[in-house]
Amino acid sequence: MSAPTDTIAAIATPPGRGGVGMVRVSGPAVPAIGAALIGALPPPRMARVANFTDAAGEPIDRGLCLYFPAPHSFTGEHVLELHGHGGPVVMDLLLARVIELGARQANPGEFSQRAYLNDKLDLAQAEAVADLIDAASAAAARAALRSLDGAFSQQVHALVERLTLLRVQIEAGLDFPDEELDLFADGRLAAEASALADDLSALLRRAGEGRLLREGLTVVLAGAPNVGKSSLLNALAEREAAIVTAIPGTTRDVLREHLGIDGLPLHLVDTAGLRDSDDPVEREGIRRARAEIERADHLLFVTEAGDPQTPPAELLGEARAVTRVINKIDLAGEPPRSEPQAAWTDVYLSARSGAGLDLLRERIKTAVGFHTGEGLFSARRRHVQALRHATDCVSRGAELLTRGVGAELAAEELRLAQQALGEITGAVTSDDLLGRIFSTFCIGK
Ligand code: GDP
Protein backbone atom coordinates (compact mmCIF):
# COMPACT_ATOMS: atom_id res chain seq x y z
CA MET A 1 0.00 0.00 0.00
CA SER A 2 1.47 3.34 -1.01
CA ALA A 3 1.10 6.51 1.03
CA PRO A 4 -2.22 8.23 0.32
CA THR A 5 -2.31 11.72 -1.19
CA ASP A 6 -5.91 12.70 -0.53
CA THR A 7 -7.44 14.25 2.58
CA ILE A 8 -9.93 12.43 4.76
CA ALA A 9 -12.47 13.66 7.31
CA ALA A 10 -14.89 12.09 9.75
CA ILE A 11 -16.93 12.84 12.83
CA ALA A 12 -14.70 11.22 15.45
CA THR A 13 -17.16 11.37 18.35
CA PRO A 14 -20.01 8.84 18.67
CA PRO A 15 -23.31 9.58 16.92
CA GLY A 16 -26.00 11.32 18.89
CA ARG A 17 -26.05 14.37 21.12
CA GLY A 18 -23.28 15.38 23.49
CA GLY A 19 -21.59 18.39 25.01
CA VAL A 20 -18.80 18.30 22.46
CA GLY A 21 -18.50 16.77 19.01
CA MET A 22 -15.32 16.51 16.99
CA VAL A 23 -14.59 16.43 13.28
CA ARG A 24 -11.12 15.23 12.44
CA VAL A 25 -9.41 16.02 9.12
CA SER A 26 -6.15 14.48 7.95
CA GLY A 27 -4.11 14.96 4.79
CA PRO A 28 -2.25 17.47 2.65
CA ALA A 29 -5.28 19.72 2.07
CA VAL A 30 -5.60 20.53 5.78
CA PRO A 31 -3.90 23.97 5.59
CA ALA A 32 -6.14 25.04 2.69
CA ILE A 33 -9.29 23.66 4.33
CA GLY A 34 -8.36 25.36 7.60
CA ALA A 35 -7.78 28.71 5.89
CA ALA A 36 -11.16 28.61 4.17
CA LEU A 37 -13.05 27.35 7.22
CA ILE A 38 -11.57 29.35 10.09
CA GLY A 39 -9.45 32.05 8.46
CA ALA A 40 -5.94 31.24 9.61
CA LEU A 41 -4.75 28.00 11.20
CA PRO A 42 -3.90 28.23 14.90
CA PRO A 43 -0.26 27.78 15.92
CA PRO A 44 0.74 24.08 15.98
CA ARG A 45 -0.72 22.11 18.91
CA MET A 46 -2.33 25.20 20.46
CA ALA A 47 -6.08 25.35 20.97
CA ARG A 48 -7.86 28.40 19.60
CA VAL A 49 -11.50 29.46 19.50
CA ALA A 50 -12.78 30.13 16.02
CA ASN A 51 -15.93 30.40 13.92
CA PHE A 52 -16.37 27.49 11.52
CA THR A 53 -17.90 29.19 8.49
CA ASP A 54 -19.93 27.99 5.53
CA ALA A 55 -19.38 28.94 1.88
CA ALA A 56 -21.20 32.25 2.41
CA GLY A 57 -19.01 33.10 5.38
CA GLU A 58 -21.81 32.48 7.88
CA PRO A 59 -20.83 30.54 11.03
CA ILE A 60 -21.94 26.90 11.23
CA ASP A 61 -20.64 26.64 14.79
CA ARG A 62 -18.08 28.22 17.05
CA GLY A 63 -15.56 26.02 18.81
CA LEU A 64 -11.98 25.01 19.44
CA CYS A 65 -9.59 24.06 16.71
CA LEU A 66 -6.28 22.28 16.96
CA TYR A 67 -3.69 21.92 14.23
CA PHE A 68 -1.02 19.20 14.23
CA PRO A 69 1.36 19.72 11.30
CA ALA A 70 2.94 16.63 9.70
CA PRO A 71 4.69 14.53 10.81
CA HIS A 72 3.86 15.22 14.46
CA SER A 73 0.29 13.95 14.48
CA PHE A 74 -1.58 10.72 15.06
CA THR A 75 -1.65 9.90 11.35
CA GLY A 76 1.73 11.45 10.54
CA GLU A 77 -0.07 13.83 8.13
CA HIS A 78 -1.37 17.36 8.70
CA VAL A 79 -4.30 16.96 11.08
CA LEU A 80 -6.99 19.46 12.01
CA GLU A 81 -9.40 18.85 14.85
CA LEU A 82 -12.59 20.87 15.03
CA HIS A 83 -14.28 20.64 18.42
CA GLY A 84 -17.80 21.98 18.13
CA HIS A 85 -21.11 21.45 19.85
CA GLY A 86 -22.06 17.80 19.84
CA GLY A 87 -25.37 17.85 18.01
CA PRO A 88 -25.90 15.64 14.95
CA VAL A 89 -27.02 18.55 12.72
CA VAL A 90 -24.04 20.75 13.60
CA MET A 91 -21.62 17.85 13.14
CA ASP A 92 -23.15 16.85 9.80
CA LEU A 93 -22.99 20.44 8.53
CA LEU A 94 -19.38 20.77 9.63
CA LEU A 95 -18.37 17.51 7.99
CA ALA A 96 -20.23 18.46 4.80
CA ARG A 97 -18.38 21.79 4.74
CA VAL A 98 -15.00 20.13 5.15
CA ILE A 99 -15.86 17.74 2.33
CA GLU A 100 -16.96 20.69 0.19
CA LEU A 101 -13.52 22.17 0.78
CA GLY A 102 -11.78 19.12 -0.66
CA ALA A 103 -11.73 16.33 1.93
CA ARG A 104 -13.57 13.03 1.51
CA GLN A 105 -15.41 10.96 4.09
CA ALA A 106 -12.96 8.59 5.80
CA ASN A 107 -13.51 4.82 5.70
CA PRO A 108 -13.64 2.83 8.95
CA GLY A 109 -10.21 2.72 10.55
CA GLU A 110 -8.66 4.93 7.89
CA PHE A 111 -6.96 7.32 10.35
CA SER A 112 -5.31 4.36 12.09
CA GLN A 113 -4.42 2.88 8.71
CA ARG A 114 -2.63 6.10 7.75
CA ALA A 115 -0.85 6.11 11.11
CA TYR A 116 0.36 2.60 10.25
CA LEU A 117 1.35 3.50 6.67
CA ASN A 118 3.31 6.51 8.00
CA ASP A 119 5.12 4.35 10.59
CA LYS A 120 3.45 6.06 13.52
CA LEU A 121 2.13 2.73 14.78
CA ASP A 122 2.87 -0.82 13.79
CA LEU A 123 0.02 -3.14 12.97
CA ALA A 124 -0.30 -4.68 16.43
CA GLN A 125 -0.44 -1.19 17.93
CA ALA A 126 -3.06 -0.03 15.43
CA GLU A 127 -5.14 -3.06 16.34
CA ALA A 128 -4.70 -2.15 20.00
CA VAL A 129 -6.37 1.21 19.29
CA ALA A 130 -9.49 -0.62 18.16
CA ASP A 131 -9.22 -3.07 21.06
CA LEU A 132 -9.01 -0.24 23.57
CA ILE A 133 -12.17 1.31 22.15
CA ASP A 134 -13.95 -2.05 22.14
CA ALA A 135 -12.62 -3.23 25.53
CA ALA A 136 -15.32 -5.03 27.49
CA SER A 137 -13.63 -4.84 30.90
CA ALA A 138 -11.15 -2.66 32.79
CA ALA A 139 -8.56 -5.45 32.54
CA ALA A 140 -9.05 -5.67 28.77
CA ALA A 141 -8.69 -1.89 28.45
CA ARG A 142 -5.44 -1.89 30.45
CA ALA A 143 -4.07 -4.70 28.31
CA ALA A 144 -5.00 -2.88 25.10
CA LEU A 145 -3.26 0.26 26.31
CA ARG A 146 -0.12 -1.76 27.05
CA SER A 147 -0.18 -3.11 23.49
CA LEU A 148 -0.73 0.39 22.16
CA ASP A 149 2.31 1.54 24.11
CA GLY A 150 4.25 -1.19 22.33
CA ALA A 151 4.60 -3.80 25.09
CA PHE A 152 3.71 -6.61 22.70
CA SER A 153 5.43 -5.21 19.59
CA GLN A 154 8.72 -4.63 21.42
CA GLN A 155 8.90 -8.27 22.42
CA VAL A 156 8.15 -9.36 18.88
CA HIS A 157 10.81 -6.98 17.55
CA ALA A 158 13.38 -8.29 20.03
CA LEU A 159 12.70 -11.86 18.92
CA VAL A 160 12.90 -10.88 15.26
CA GLU A 161 16.29 -9.33 15.90
CA ARG A 162 17.64 -12.46 17.53
CA LEU A 163 16.17 -14.53 14.74
CA THR A 164 17.85 -12.33 12.13
CA LEU A 165 21.21 -12.64 13.85
CA LEU A 166 20.86 -16.40 14.01
CA ARG A 167 19.91 -16.59 10.35
CA VAL A 168 22.92 -14.49 9.36
CA GLN A 169 25.26 -16.86 11.19
CA ILE A 170 23.66 -19.96 9.73
CA GLU A 171 23.73 -18.52 6.21
CA ALA A 172 27.36 -17.58 6.74
CA GLY A 173 28.16 -21.12 7.82
CA LEU A 174 26.41 -22.45 4.72
CA ASP A 175 28.04 -20.01 2.33
CA PHE A 176 31.56 -20.47 3.62
CA PRO A 177 31.79 -24.12 4.67
CA ASP A 178 35.55 -24.17 4.30
CA GLU A 179 36.22 -21.39 6.77
CA GLU A 180 38.32 -22.45 9.70
CA LEU A 181 35.64 -21.50 12.08
CA ASP A 182 32.93 -24.13 11.84
CA LEU A 183 29.86 -22.36 13.12
CA PHE A 184 27.89 -25.56 13.56
CA ALA A 185 30.54 -27.50 15.44
CA ASP A 186 30.24 -26.14 18.96
CA GLY A 187 26.45 -26.32 19.22
CA ARG A 188 26.17 -22.62 19.92
CA LEU A 189 23.71 -21.98 17.09
CA ALA A 190 21.56 -24.96 18.10
CA ALA A 191 21.51 -23.67 21.67
CA GLU A 192 20.46 -20.20 20.58
CA ALA A 193 17.72 -21.67 18.35
CA SER A 194 16.39 -23.70 21.31
CA ALA A 195 16.46 -20.64 23.56
CA LEU A 196 14.57 -18.69 20.91
CA ALA A 197 11.96 -21.42 20.63
CA ASP A 198 11.47 -21.29 24.42
CA ASP A 199 11.11 -17.52 24.45
CA LEU A 200 8.70 -17.67 21.54
CA SER A 201 6.52 -20.19 23.30
CA ALA A 202 6.54 -18.04 26.45
CA LEU A 203 5.34 -15.08 24.38
CA LEU A 204 2.78 -17.34 22.72
CA ARG A 205 1.36 -18.24 26.13
CA ARG A 206 1.04 -14.62 27.14
CA ALA A 207 -0.46 -13.64 23.79
CA GLY A 208 -2.97 -16.46 24.30
CA GLU A 209 -3.94 -14.90 27.61
CA GLY A 210 -4.17 -11.49 25.97
CA ARG A 211 -6.48 -12.91 23.35
CA LEU A 212 -8.67 -14.48 26.02
CA LEU A 213 -8.89 -11.15 27.77
CA ARG A 214 -10.11 -9.59 24.55
CA GLU A 215 -12.34 -12.30 23.19
CA GLY A 216 -13.27 -14.30 26.26
CA LEU A 217 -13.67 -17.99 26.68
CA THR A 218 -16.62 -20.03 25.54
CA VAL A 219 -17.62 -22.52 28.20
CA VAL A 220 -20.35 -25.02 27.42
CA LEU A 221 -22.39 -26.84 30.03
CA ALA A 222 -23.40 -30.32 28.97
CA GLY A 223 -24.78 -33.38 30.68
CA ALA A 224 -27.94 -35.36 31.26
CA PRO A 225 -31.19 -33.57 32.09
CA ASN A 226 -31.77 -32.53 35.70
CA VAL A 227 -28.19 -32.82 36.91
CA GLY A 228 -28.13 -29.09 37.68
CA LYS A 229 -26.69 -27.38 34.58
CA SER A 230 -29.05 -24.42 34.74
CA SER A 231 -28.51 -24.14 38.49
CA LEU A 232 -24.77 -24.03 37.91
CA LEU A 233 -25.15 -21.34 35.24
CA ASN A 234 -27.21 -19.26 37.65
CA ALA A 235 -24.74 -19.81 40.46
CA LEU A 236 -21.79 -18.71 38.32
CA ALA A 237 -23.73 -15.76 36.93
CA GLU A 238 -24.97 -14.90 40.42
CA ARG A 239 -28.46 -14.32 39.08
CA GLU A 240 -31.47 -16.24 37.83
CA ALA A 241 -30.63 -16.41 34.14
CA ALA A 242 -31.93 -19.88 33.42
CA ILE A 243 -35.16 -21.56 34.44
CA VAL A 244 -34.54 -24.24 37.03
CA THR A 245 -37.18 -26.94 37.51
CA ALA A 246 -37.23 -30.52 38.64
CA ILE A 247 -38.76 -31.51 35.30
CA PRO A 248 -36.18 -33.08 32.98
CA GLY A 249 -35.75 -31.38 29.59
CA THR A 250 -36.55 -27.81 30.70
CA THR A 251 -33.71 -26.17 28.80
CA ARG A 252 -34.58 -26.82 25.20
CA ASP A 253 -32.83 -23.98 23.56
CA VAL A 254 -29.31 -22.72 24.04
CA LEU A 255 -28.93 -20.14 26.78
CA ARG A 256 -26.03 -17.75 26.95
CA GLU A 257 -24.69 -15.76 29.85
CA HIS A 258 -21.71 -13.41 29.86
CA LEU A 259 -19.73 -13.07 33.04
CA GLY A 260 -16.17 -12.56 34.14
CA ILE A 261 -13.75 -14.26 36.50
CA ASP A 262 -10.90 -11.98 37.50
CA GLY A 263 -11.20 -10.02 34.27
CA LEU A 264 -11.42 -13.13 32.08
CA PRO A 265 -14.68 -12.81 30.12
CA LEU A 266 -16.67 -16.05 30.08
CA HIS A 267 -19.36 -16.80 27.55
CA LEU A 268 -21.26 -19.48 29.33
CA VAL A 269 -23.59 -21.59 27.24
CA ASP A 270 -26.21 -23.81 28.80
CA THR A 271 -27.40 -26.53 26.48
CA ALA A 272 -30.27 -28.92 26.39
CA GLY A 273 -29.53 -32.12 28.25
CA LEU A 274 -28.05 -34.74 25.99
CA ARG A 275 -30.44 -37.66 25.80
CA ASP A 276 -32.48 -39.46 23.20
CA SER A 277 -35.82 -37.78 22.79
CA ASP A 278 -38.86 -38.10 20.54
CA ASP A 279 -39.93 -34.51 21.12
CA PRO A 280 -38.92 -32.58 17.95
CA VAL A 281 -38.32 -29.35 19.93
CA GLU A 282 -36.07 -31.10 22.41
CA ARG A 283 -34.33 -32.96 19.59
CA GLU A 284 -33.51 -29.63 17.91
CA GLY A 285 -32.20 -28.38 21.25
CA ILE A 286 -29.93 -31.40 21.51
CA ARG A 287 -28.70 -30.85 17.95
CA ARG A 288 -27.80 -27.25 18.85
CA ALA A 289 -26.16 -28.42 22.06
CA ARG A 290 -23.84 -30.66 20.07
CA ALA A 291 -22.98 -27.77 17.73
CA GLU A 292 -22.09 -25.57 20.72
CA ILE A 293 -19.95 -28.31 22.23
CA GLU A 294 -18.01 -28.47 18.96
CA ARG A 295 -17.11 -24.78 19.24
CA ALA A 296 -16.39 -24.65 22.97
CA ASP A 297 -13.03 -23.70 24.48
CA HIS A 298 -13.92 -25.48 27.69
CA LEU A 299 -16.54 -28.09 28.42
CA LEU A 300 -18.23 -28.55 31.76
CA PHE A 301 -19.72 -32.03 31.86
CA VAL A 302 -22.16 -31.90 34.75
CA THR A 303 -23.16 -35.02 36.62
CA GLU A 304 -24.46 -35.87 40.09
CA ALA A 305 -22.61 -36.97 43.21
CA GLY A 306 -23.68 -40.42 44.32
CA ASP A 307 -23.83 -41.71 40.77
CA PRO A 308 -21.26 -39.72 38.75
CA GLN A 309 -21.31 -40.49 35.03
CA THR A 310 -18.25 -40.66 32.83
CA PRO A 311 -18.07 -37.99 30.10
CA PRO A 312 -18.83 -39.68 26.75
CA ALA A 313 -15.69 -40.25 24.68
CA GLU A 314 -17.10 -38.06 21.90
CA LEU A 315 -16.93 -35.03 24.22
CA LEU A 316 -13.27 -35.49 25.04
CA GLY A 317 -11.66 -33.62 22.17
CA GLU A 318 -8.00 -32.71 22.21
CA ALA A 319 -8.56 -29.06 21.44
CA ARG A 320 -10.54 -28.18 24.55
CA ALA A 321 -10.25 -28.84 28.24
CA VAL A 322 -12.96 -30.83 30.00
CA THR A 323 -14.08 -30.53 33.58
CA ARG A 324 -16.41 -33.07 35.11
CA VAL A 325 -18.56 -31.16 37.55
CA ILE A 326 -19.86 -33.50 40.22
CA ASN A 327 -22.84 -31.53 41.44
CA LYS A 328 -25.21 -31.85 44.39
CA ILE A 329 -22.52 -32.79 46.92
CA ASP A 330 -24.84 -31.35 49.57
CA LEU A 331 -27.15 -34.33 48.99
CA ALA A 332 -24.33 -36.86 49.03
CA GLY A 333 -22.61 -35.24 52.04
CA GLU A 334 -19.27 -34.94 50.23
CA PRO A 335 -16.68 -32.15 50.67
CA PRO A 336 -15.90 -29.78 47.78
CA ARG A 337 -12.64 -30.64 46.05
CA SER A 338 -10.78 -30.69 42.75
CA GLU A 339 -9.15 -33.89 41.47
CA PRO A 340 -7.21 -34.13 38.18
CA GLN A 341 -7.93 -37.27 36.14
CA ALA A 342 -6.20 -38.49 33.00
CA ALA A 343 -8.55 -36.92 30.45
CA TRP A 344 -10.32 -34.31 32.57
CA THR A 345 -10.46 -32.78 36.04
CA ASP A 346 -13.19 -33.53 38.58
CA VAL A 347 -14.64 -30.66 40.58
CA TYR A 348 -17.02 -31.61 43.38
CA LEU A 349 -19.46 -28.80 44.17
CA SER A 350 -22.99 -27.81 44.97
CA ALA A 351 -24.70 -25.37 42.65
CA ARG A 352 -27.33 -24.94 45.33
CA SER A 353 -25.12 -24.10 48.32
CA GLY A 354 -22.26 -22.58 46.35
CA ALA A 355 -19.68 -24.87 47.98
CA GLY A 356 -16.83 -25.59 45.53
CA LEU A 357 -17.74 -22.85 43.01
CA ASP A 358 -14.40 -21.13 43.67
CA LEU A 359 -12.61 -24.36 42.83
CA LEU A 360 -14.44 -24.44 39.51
CA ARG A 361 -13.50 -20.83 38.73
CA GLU A 362 -9.86 -21.63 39.51
CA ARG A 363 -9.98 -24.77 37.42
CA ILE A 364 -11.32 -22.89 34.38
CA LYS A 365 -8.61 -20.23 34.66
CA THR A 366 -5.84 -22.80 35.08
CA ALA A 367 -7.10 -24.95 32.22
CA VAL A 368 -6.82 -22.07 29.74
CA GLY A 369 -3.55 -20.84 31.24
CA PHE A 370 -4.99 -17.58 32.48
CA HIS A 371 -2.97 -15.96 35.27
CA THR A 372 -3.81 -12.40 36.16
CA GLY A 373 -1.51 -9.62 37.29
CA GLU A 374 1.31 -10.39 34.88
CA GLY A 375 1.04 -7.15 32.97
CA LEU A 376 -0.94 -8.62 30.13
CA PHE A 377 -1.12 -7.01 26.72
CA SER A 378 -4.00 -7.47 24.32
CA ALA A 379 -3.56 -9.82 21.40
CA ARG A 380 -5.72 -11.21 18.66
CA ARG A 381 -6.31 -14.63 17.23
CA ARG A 382 -4.14 -13.85 14.19
CA HIS A 383 -1.25 -12.88 16.48
CA VAL A 384 -1.57 -16.14 18.38
CA GLN A 385 -1.64 -18.11 15.13
CA ALA A 386 1.43 -16.31 13.82
CA LEU A 387 3.31 -16.87 17.07
CA ARG A 388 2.37 -20.54 17.10
CA HIS A 389 3.59 -20.93 13.54
CA ALA A 390 6.85 -19.13 14.38
CA THR A 391 7.35 -21.26 17.50
CA ASP A 392 6.81 -24.48 15.54
CA CYS A 393 9.23 -23.40 12.80
CA VAL A 394 11.97 -22.40 15.25
CA SER A 395 11.51 -25.61 17.26
CA ARG A 396 11.96 -27.66 14.11
CA GLY A 397 14.96 -25.52 13.16
CA ALA A 398 16.51 -26.02 16.60
CA GLU A 399 16.02 -29.74 16.36
CA LEU A 400 17.72 -29.91 12.95
CA LEU A 401 20.65 -27.87 14.22
CA THR A 402 20.94 -29.97 17.37
CA ARG A 403 21.04 -33.16 15.36
CA GLY A 404 23.66 -31.56 13.15
CA VAL A 405 21.77 -32.33 9.98
CA GLY A 406 20.05 -30.14 7.42
CA ALA A 407 21.35 -26.68 8.23
CA GLU A 408 19.73 -25.55 4.96
CA LEU A 409 16.37 -26.78 6.17
CA ALA A 410 16.92 -25.11 9.52
CA ALA A 411 17.68 -21.83 7.76
CA GLU A 412 14.44 -22.16 5.83
CA GLU A 413 12.43 -22.82 9.02
CA LEU A 414 13.91 -19.71 10.60
CA ARG A 415 13.08 -17.67 7.53
CA LEU A 416 9.44 -18.80 7.76
CA ALA A 417 9.39 -17.97 11.47
CA GLN A 418 10.64 -14.48 10.79
CA GLN A 419 7.98 -14.01 8.15
CA ALA A 420 5.27 -15.11 10.60
CA LEU A 421 6.49 -12.65 13.22
CA GLY A 422 6.60 -9.92 10.59
CA GLU A 423 2.89 -10.45 10.00
CA ILE A 424 2.16 -9.48 13.61
CA THR A 425 3.73 -6.05 13.47
CA GLY A 426 2.96 -5.54 9.80
CA ALA A 427 6.55 -5.69 8.57
CA VAL A 428 5.30 -8.35 6.15
CA THR A 429 1.66 -8.03 5.10
CA SER A 430 -0.61 -8.19 2.13
CA ASP A 431 -2.97 -5.36 1.20
CA ASP A 432 -5.76 -7.86 1.62
CA LEU A 433 -4.89 -8.47 5.28
CA LEU A 434 -4.61 -4.73 5.93
CA GLY A 435 -7.99 -4.13 4.33
CA ARG A 436 -9.57 -6.81 6.48
CA ILE A 437 -8.04 -5.51 9.70
CA PHE A 438 -8.84 -1.83 9.29
CA SER A 439 -12.34 -2.34 7.90
CA THR A 440 -13.45 -3.67 11.30
CA PHE A 441 -12.52 -0.38 13.01
CA CYS A 442 -15.05 2.35 13.65
CA ILE A 443 -15.29 5.45 11.48
CA GLY A 444 -13.23 8.41 12.68
CA LYS A 445 -10.59 6.15 14.23
P1 GDP B 1 -30.61 -29.12 34.41
O2 GDP B 1 -31.77 -29.82 33.79
O3 GDP B 1 -29.36 -29.94 34.30
O4 GDP B 1 -30.41 -27.73 33.91
O5 GDP B 1 -30.90 -29.06 35.98
P6 GDP B 1 -31.54 -27.89 36.83
O7 GDP B 1 -30.53 -26.83 37.10
O8 GDP B 1 -32.83 -27.49 36.24
O9 GDP B 1 -31.74 -28.65 38.22
C10 GDP B 1 -32.54 -29.80 38.33
C11 GDP B 1 -32.98 -29.96 39.78
O12 GDP B 1 -31.86 -30.21 40.62
C13 GDP B 1 -33.63 -28.71 40.35
O14 GDP B 1 -34.70 -29.11 41.16
C15 GDP B 1 -32.56 -28.06 41.17
O16 GDP B 1 -33.04 -27.30 42.22
C17 GDP B 1 -31.79 -29.26 41.66
N18 GDP B 1 -30.38 -28.95 41.95
C19 GDP B 1 -29.47 -28.38 41.13
N20 GDP B 1 -28.27 -28.26 41.74
C21 GDP B 1 -28.41 -28.76 42.99
C22 GDP B 1 -27.50 -28.92 44.11
O23 GDP B 1 -26.32 -28.57 44.08
N24 GDP B 1 -28.02 -29.49 45.22
C25 GDP B 1 -29.31 -29.90 45.30
N26 GDP B 1 -29.72 -30.43 46.41
N27 GDP B 1 -30.18 -29.77 44.27
C28 GDP B 1 -29.74 -29.20 43.14
pLDDT of residue 40: 87
Ligand 1 near 246 CB (within 6 A) = yes
Higher pLDDT, 82 or 381: 82
Residue with CA at minimum distance from ligand 1 atom 9: 228
- Confidence at 445, pLDDT banded by 50, 70, 90: confident
Indicate if the pLDDT at residue 311 is higher than 70: yes
Torsion, Cα 251 254 257 261, to 10 degrees, reads: 100
DSSP bridge partners of 13: none
Ligand 1 near 327 CB (within 6 A) = yes
Cis, peptide link before residue 71, omega less than 30° from 0:
yes
Cα–Cα dist 41/351, whole Å: 65
Distance 244 CA to ligand 1 centre (A): 7
Q: Are strands 298-304 and 321-327 parallel, antiparallel or unpaired?
A: parallel
Distance 243 CA to ligand 1 centre (A): 10
Summarised one tens digit per residue, pLDDT across range 366-410 is 888 777 656 688 898 899 999 999 999 999 999 999 988 888 899
Q: Which atom of ligand 1 is nearest to the CA of 250?
A: 2
- Confidence at 336, pLDDT banded by 50, 70, 90: very high
Residue with CA at minimum distance from ligand 1 atom 20: 228
- Confidence at 241, pLDDT banded by 50, 70, 90: low
User: Which H or E element spans position 105?
Assistant: strand 104-105
Distance 339 CA to ligand 1 centre (A): 22
Ligand 1 near 244 CB (within 6 A) = yes
Residue 201 amino acid letter:
S
Backbone angles phi, psi at 275, to 5 degrees: -155, 165
CATH number, domain 133-212+378-438: 1.20.120.430
**Domain boundaries for CATH 3.40.50.300 within the chain:** 216-367
Q: Are strands 345-348 and 337-340 parallel, antiparallel or unpaired?
A: antiparallel
pLDDT of residue 173: 80
Distance 318 CA to ligand 1 centre (A): 29
Q: Residue 145: name the closest of 214, 73, 70, 66 by CA.
A: 214
pLDDT of residue 252: 47
What's the whole-model pTM score?
0.74
Q: What's the whole-number mean pLDDT along residues 60-86?
A: 96
**Domain boundaries for CATH 1.20.120.430 within the chain:** 133-212+378-438
How much of the chain, in percent, has pLDDT values that exceed 90? 53
Residue with CA at minimum distance from ligand 1 atom 14: 246
Summarised one tens digit per residue, pLDDT across range 161-219 is 999 999 988 888 887 766 645 666 778 889 999 999 999 999 998 898 888 888 888 89
Q: Identify the weakest region by mean pLDDT among 95-99, 112-116, 209-213, 357-361.
A: 209-213
Indicate if the pLDDT at residue 248 is higher than 60: no
Indicate if the pLDDT at residue 89 is higher than 60: yes
3-state secondary structure of 443: coil
The average confidence (pLDDT) of the chain is 87
Q: Which of 230, 231, 251 should be mutated for ligand 1, with most atoms under 8 A from CB?
A: 231
Q: Which of 220, 226, 269, 271 should be mutated for ligand 1, with most atoms under 8 A from CB?
A: 226
Distance 367 CA to ligand 1 centre (A): 25
Residue with CA at minimum distance from ligand 1 atom 8: 244
Pick the CATH number of 216-367 from 3.40.50.150, 3.90.1520.10, 3.40.50.10470, 3.40.50.300: 3.40.50.300
Ligand 1 near 252 CB (within 6 A) = no
Cα–Cα dist 315/322, whole Å: 8
pLDDT of residue 236: 87
Distance 314 CA to ligand 1 centre (A): 25
Domain 8-122 - what CATH class? alpha beta
Q: What's the whole-number mean pLDDT along residues 336-350?
A: 95
Q: Identify the weakest region by mean pLDDT among 33-47, 136-150, 271-285.
A: 271-285
Q: Which of 221, 232, 236, 244 should be mutated for ligand 1, with most atoms under 8 A from CB?
A: 244
Distance 228 CA to ligand 1 centre (A): 4
Backbone angles phi, psi at 139, to 5 degrees: -65, -40
**Domain boundaries for CATH 3.30.1360.120 within the chain:** 8-122
